[in-house]
């Protein structure tokens, strides 16, 4: 899994404004401050979620994501942000995020449910991320949700207040901050959502430009198609296992089917890349187990269960192999 550099840059710069030491953050992530300006750079999963963990530790702000979201701008999503700024209304601008977010990250998924009277925006971190580092995934959710409100304000010039927010996390001690940002908010719900009056999301975007919208829409679609074509099958397999199955081993025909391939074609293409489904899935489980076991609040038997090992001893044996 991955995210692009503008998202990491926003986290680290935002943390630095809140007392973190930028050079130390970059050193810990094996980045240089100069790397943060490379908008085309892709940041791997471990480096990405660790940026949240390190920023949380240095700022001492348990609500860092919530607070960073209040200054989020469309630029965090690169080209998608330009497309949002040229959209005719807020609803269309959010739909661009849902349609094209893969250009920015596959660690986070956006969706929308549009009704005549009410519309629900849905925010979902990858299942694997929730397993490996639930607290950093929470920060990303809260940044995205709060960021949506700020971006809507920047685009429309008006403060759009949700009917209600829901979070799939426990209620924190500092509940007042959530009430200040969202108004009505519920915790320990099934999904992370913002619910609006549909009419509020029909507010026009001040910078709407029909020609620019068509231009950026074409560019974004072309880049997304190129991104999909350039991804190796090995990368796509790893992504499916991580996002859909939390790293657990599933039969090869299941993954082949999800990638719209026959099993024979699937196996042949992996062989051409110098690997096999068994090698990929085994390596991924070891990698994920190593990451999970570094978390302070996770036990070996819990990791074994998450990744589908029969017992903790089987996990230990796999890690030694």
Supply the range of the domain harboring residue 243. Answer: 231-320
Mean pLDDT of 8-24: 95
Same domain, 144 and 239: no
Cβ burial of 93 (10 Å; 0-12, 13-18, 19+) is buried
Cβ burial of 163 (10 Å; 0-12, 13-18, 19+) is middle
Flag whether 176 is in a domain: yes
Span 60-81, pLDDT tens digits: 999 999 999 999 999 999 889 9
Same domain, 249 and 198: no
- Output the average pLDDT for the chain: 88
Cβ burial of 209 (10 Å; 0-12, 13-18, 19+) is middle
Q: How many domains would you assign to the chain?
A: 2
Same domain, 207 and 236: no
**Model confidence at 150: pLDDT above 60:** yes
Residue 307: the pLDDT is 61
pTM, 2 dp = 0.78
């Amino acid at each position: 899994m991955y995210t692009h550099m503008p998202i990491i840059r926003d986290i680290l710069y935002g943390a630095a404004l809140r007392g973190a030491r930028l050079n130390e953050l970059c050193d810990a992530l094996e980045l240089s401050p100069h790397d943060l300006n490379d908008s085309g750079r892709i940041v791997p999963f471990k480096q990405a979620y660790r940026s949240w963990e390190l920023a949380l530790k240095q700022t001492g702000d348990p609500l860092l994501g919530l607070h960073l979201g209040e200054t989020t701008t469309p630029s965090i999503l690169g080209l998608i942000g330009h497309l949002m700024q040229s959209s005719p209304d807020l609803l269309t601008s959010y739909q661009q995020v849902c349609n094209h977010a893969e250009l920015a990250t596959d660690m986070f998924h956006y969706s929308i449910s549009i009704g005549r009277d009410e519309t629900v925006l849905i925010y979902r971190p990858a299942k694997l991320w929730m397993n490996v580092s639930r607290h950093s995934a929470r920060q990303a959710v809260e940044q995205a949700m709060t960021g949506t409100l700020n971006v809507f304000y920047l685009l429309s010039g008006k403060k759009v207040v949700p009917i209600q927010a829901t979070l799939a996390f426990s209620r924190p001690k500092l509940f007042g901050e959530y009430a200040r940002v969202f108004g009505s908010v519920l915790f320990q719900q099934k999904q992370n959502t913002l619910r609006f009056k549909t009419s509020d999301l029909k507010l026009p975007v001040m910078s709407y430009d029909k020609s620019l919208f068509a231009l950026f829409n074409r560019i974004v679609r072309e880049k997304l198609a190129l991104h999909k074509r350039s991804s190796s099958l090995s990368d796509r397999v790893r992504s499916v296992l991580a996002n859909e199955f939390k790293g657990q081993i599933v039969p090869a025909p299941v993954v082949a089917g999800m990638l719209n391939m026959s099993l024979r074609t699937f196996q042949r293409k992996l062989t051409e890349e110098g690997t096999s489904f068994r090698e990929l899935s085994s390596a991924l489980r070891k990698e994920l187990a190593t990451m999970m076991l570094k978390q302070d609040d996770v036990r070996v038997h819990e990791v074994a269960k998450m990744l589908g090992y029969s017992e903790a001893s089987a996990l230990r044996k796999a890690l030694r192999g």
